[in-house]
Chains A and B, each alone.
Chain A
Amino acid sequence: MTARIGVVTFPGTLDDVDAVRAVRLSGAEPVALWHGSDDLSGVDAVILPGGFSYGDYLRCGAIARFSPVMDEVIRKANEGMPVLGICNGFQVLCEAHLLPGALIRNDRRTFICRDQRLRVESRDTVWTCDFVDGDEIVIALKNGEGNYQADAETIARLEGENQVIFRYLDGNPNGSVNDIAGITNARGNVVGLMPHPEHNVDPLAGASIDGLRIFSGVQRFLSAVTA
């Protein structure tokens, strides 16, 4: 059965259409979800895409986190539904406390936009199971506030429990602790990352198609649990 993957649009979201396209290209059925509705239309997984929800007012993701759709996303995430937060979506997941830590302004105070090499540190999540630990991939990175921070105890737990899943290679672009580009929760169903896998699904429009494996990975997981 084709997996149905929801993509949430908040006011100010930019990359929802790209995420929908990535879902379609990877063979799943995209379902557009609206921030003002608490109905997830029975989807099997949810993506919070990138952009500048609510104009990044207050803090990135802080207002989106309290939109009606998020109550349901939080409830389903706590039941184990796969949830992926990309860039602004990662910030929303941190504000919602589905993931620990926070993202602050880049240490060099510039907006970054480049093809970024990453190392896959853990395939042990519902989104990264199509990778092999240690894979080196290229994914578009574009953000002004991608500097991942958490207290020392949290970082030690993330590192110790294999919850750091993507790390920046070739130098730290934004000041993130331990070059962290993406993390997961203890259960491995909620993943947040700053780079944009939805921009790396088509050889004509990206430096790689490494992003596809995120969207195919969750489908492999979903077909395994429903089989």
Chain B
Amino acid sequence: MARVIVDVMPKPEILDPQGKAVTGALARLGFAGLSVRQGKRFEIEVEGDLTEERLDQIRHAAETILANTVIEAFDVRVDE
């Protein structure tokens, strides 16, 4: 079965409090010089053939619900 990955990240200009918290924790643990932004990864199993039309549907789904494009950017790709 084909698998599609949707990555959702907070836009660069939007504050990422979770990423900041993780960055702080890493520094405290001695992992110096690492700056984190935290997003989400969706793994989508697709029934049937993964046509360009099907991919467009998934892009539409990502824009409709998986990401809020006011604050987030998303990327859709096929997991080879």
Contacts and interface: CB of A to CB of B under 8 A. Distances in A.
Q: Do A and B bind each other?
A: yes
Interface of A: 58-59, 62-63, 66, 94-95, 100-102, 104-107, 109, 147, 149-151, 175
A104 B14 contact: yes
B69 to A, nearest CB: 9
A220 B35 CA distance: 53
Given A58-B65, A62-B65, A104 B20 contact: no
Given A58-B65, A62-B65, A105 B71 contact: no
Interface in B17-54: 17-18, 20-21
Interface residues of B, number: 12
B14 A149 contact: yes
A66 B17 contact: no
A153 to B, nearest CB: 12
Nearest to B42: A58
7 contacts: A58-B65, A101-B70, A104-B10, A107-B15, A109-B18, A149-B14, A149-B15
Interface of B: 10, 14-15, 17-18, 20-21, 65-66, 68, 70-71
Nearest to A101: B70
A135 B15 CA distance: 31
Contacts of A147: 15, 17
B55 to A, nearest CB: 21
A95 B69 CA distance: 10
B21 to A, nearest CB: 6
A111 to B, nearest CB: 12
B14 to A, nearest CB: 6
Contacts of B70: 94, 100-102, 149-151
Contact of A104 (B21, B65, B66, B71): B71
Given A105-B18, A147-B15, 20 more contacts: A58-B66, A59-B68, A94-B70, A95-B68, A102-B68, A102-B70, A102-B71, A104-B10, A104-B14, A104-B15, A104-B71, A106-B17, A107-B15, A109-B17, A109-B18, A109-B21, A149-B14, A149-B15, A149-B70, A149-B71
A175 B14 CA distance: 11
A174 to B, nearest CB: 10
A156 to B, nearest CB: 15
Contacts of B21: 109
A16 B17 CA distance: 29
B14 A105 contact: no
